[in-house]
Amino acid sequence: MRSDTIAAISTAVANSGIGIVRISGDQALSVVDRIYRSKDGKKKISEQPSHTIHYGFIQDGDEMVDEVLVTVMRAPKSYTAEDVVEINCHGGSYSVRRVLDTAIRSGARPAEPGEFTKRAFLNGRIDLSQAEAVIDVIHAKNEFALKSSVSQLKGSVREKIVQHRKLILEQLAFVEAALDDPEHISLDGYAEALKQKVKQLLEQLQELIDSSDNGRILKEGIQTVILGKPNAGKSSLLNALLQEDRAIVTEVAGTTRDVLEETLSLNGILLNLVDTAGIRITEDVVEKIGVERAKEKAEQADLVIYVVDASTEIDANDREVMNVLAEKKVIVLLNKSDLIPVTTTEMIKEVIGKSVPVLTVSAKEQTGLDLLEGQIRKMFYDGKITFNDEIYITNARQKAALTQAKNSLEKVLTSIENEMPEDFYSIDLMDAYSSLGEIIGESVGEDLINEIFSRFCMGK
């Protein structure tokens, strides 16, 4: 572990009220001693107790750079588990840069992206799943993603993985001990006992793997495609949800020829909205391309909002839309409720042939749209999300490691069923143990660690 002292700007490099320069390492206090002057000129930062704040000035030789507050956090009770000093200065981009440059000339070196968090991991203050949660907190786009990331930052994933690894290690130890000392430790009947424990563990791993779909939605948002025949009110719906005229709306059917994508936070639910060309049978070459793209987007969607013109009868174009719905999660919006209805909820359910939520709305008058949020919340989150006991896997690397562990444990079951020697149990149990270790960083290579932390922003 490198023990040199690093420094970086930890706030956005833009004009703001406050800017923070973070310094970490064995010489962090000494570096700040060289550039800090207290109001009375007598106080040295290196002599101050941990977790205290001090008013003074940053000096570059005889020149005063800025008026500052300096926070002292001594090892190991700091973000990196090293001595850390944070200089709170005025937030002008030039003044913060001057403070950083002064610290670097006085003995620190520029930090690499994510190096503060990397040091926290290497120094054992956090595990790899918690480190990855840090960047998820920074990039969280909605309330649910933030809550999930904070839960992981507090160690929810780590606790679960440590629990599973402990169970596997106990079985490994027993098998190895029995193989080394068969006279005193019997394996009679052990295969059946191991089989039951492995099955329980497989169920728990599968729950975590299954949570990754919801985890992706929490993190990235719900891929939501708006479908309907031409002039059903799809673009009007998009504009109503966004509260701005984002899509062109005319009385001419087929105005939208291509997909239009926007992101919307609906009271904490992140929707990645895709407005598509109206689906209908057409000979127009350009419109045909738009219709095909609409169908492709629907295939990739987490949710399809099917907009029906309730003032007209269900026709062949509506049936063309319904052919696309298949196994997708669907919410039907009976639009144009401000006009005399022709198509009813019962008609829609009868034609679709399955139970789907149907809401009556008017995109033009912006009525009924409040029901959409509640329906989406119910469909994806059972009406709410809690993080007291639930864990959502939001990281593709973690999901891959869980899948590898699951595959190894399934091999253990195969060995038991085929009455293979106990040595085979050990091999696959160890593989599962190692795969789970990758999630918390106990069995990963330096290249992977470097690659993970390179994704972090500077100063974190």
Q: What is the CATH number of the domain that holds 328?
A: 3.40.50.300
Are 358 and 263 in the same domain? yes
Beta bridge partners of 225: 274, 304
Residue 390's pLDDT is: 65
Q: What is the mean pLDDT of residues 360-371?
A: 85
Query: Among the residues of 188-233, which ranges form H helices?
Result: 190-220
Note the pLDDT of residue 255.
44
Confidence of residue 32 (pLDDT cuts 50, 70, 90): very high
**Cα(31)–Cα(25) distance, integer angstroms:** 10
Is 386 domain-assigned? no
Find all residues with CB under 8 Å of 222, minimum gap 6, and list them. Answer: 269, 270, 271, 272, 302, 303, 376, 380
Taking 80 as the threshold, does the pLDDT of residue 148 lie above it? Answer: no
Contact between 65 and 105 (Cβ < 8 Å): no
Domain boundary, last residue among 85, 105, 126: 126
Instruction: Give me the pLDDT at residue 387, please.
Output: 46
Q: Is residue 304 part of a domain?
A: yes
- Interval 366-383: pLDDT, tens: 888 888 888 888 887 664
Average pLDDT taken over every residue of the chain: 84
Beta strands in 292-444 (DSSP E): 303-309, 329-335, 358-360
The domain that contains 15 carries what CATH number?
A: 3.30.1360.120
Within this chain, do residues 72 and 17 fall inside the same structural domain, yes or no? yes
Q: Can you tell me the distance from the alpha carbon of 230 to that of 302, in angstroms, rounded to the nearest whole number?
A: 22
- Rounded-to-5 percentages of helix, strand, coil across the chain: 45, 20, 35
CA 208 – CA 151 distance, rounded (Å): 15
Whole-Å CA distances, 159 to 150, 154, 212, 315, 441: 14, 10, 17, 55, 13
- In this structure, the answer to whether residues 355 and 283 fall within a common structural domain is yes
Q: Is 306 in contact with 332 (CB distance < 8 Å)?
A: yes
Q: List, edge to edge, every strand of the sheet that includes 358-360.
A: 260-266, 269-275, 222-227, 303-309, 329-335, 358-360
Q: In the predicted model, is pLDDT for residue 173 greater than 80?
A: yes
342 and 306 Cβ atoms separated by less than 8 Å: no
Instruction: Give me the residue label for tokens 């913060």.
Output: 96
Which residue range(s) make up the domain with 70?
A: 6-126
Which residue in the block uniquely carries the two structure tokens 């507090």?
154
- Whether the per-residue pLDDT at 153 is higher than 60: the answer is yes
Average pLDDT over residues 323-349: 82
Whether 375 and 293 map to the same domain: the answer is: yes
At residue 26 the predicted structure's pLDDT band, cuts being 50, 70 and 90, is very high
**Does 330 share its domain with 192?**
no
150: confidence class by pLDDT, cuts 50, 70, 90:
confident
- The structural domain count of the chain equals 3
Same domain, 243 and 367: yes
Asked whether residue 226 carries a pLDDT value surpassing 90, the answer given is no
Structural domain includes residue 403: yes
Tens of pLDDT, residue by residue over 263-294, are 887 776 788 888 877 776 666 667 677 777 87
Is 14 inside any structural domain? yes
**Shared domain check, 15 and 93:** yes
Maximum mean pLDDT: which of 106-110, 126-130, 140-144, 297-301 = 106-110
* Residue 68 CB neighbour total at 10 angstroms: 25
Distance of alpha carbon 137 from alpha carbon 149, whole angstroms: 5
Structural contact between residues 295 and 279, judged by C-beta atoms closer than 8 angstroms:
yes
Residues 61 and 149 in one domain: no
Residue 248's pLDDT band (cuts 50, 70, 90):
very low
Please state the φ and ψ torsions of residue 235, each to the nearest 5 degrees: -65, -35
Out of 78, 107, 126, pick the residue that ends a domain. Answer: 126
The per-residue b/e assignment along 258-276, b for 16 or more CB within 10 angstroms, e otherwise, is: ebbebebebeebbbbbbbb
Q: Note the pLDDT tens digit of each residue in 68-81.
A: 999 999 999 999 99
**Domain-located, residue 42:** yes
C-alpha separations of 453 from 154, 312, 334, 344 in Å: 19, 56, 48, 55
Do 5 and 107 touch, CB atoms closer than 8 A?
A: yes
What is the tens place of the pLDDT at every residue in 375-418?
888 887 664 444 445 677 878 899 999 999 999 999 999 999 99
Given a cut of 90, is residue 135 above it in pLDDT?
Answer: no
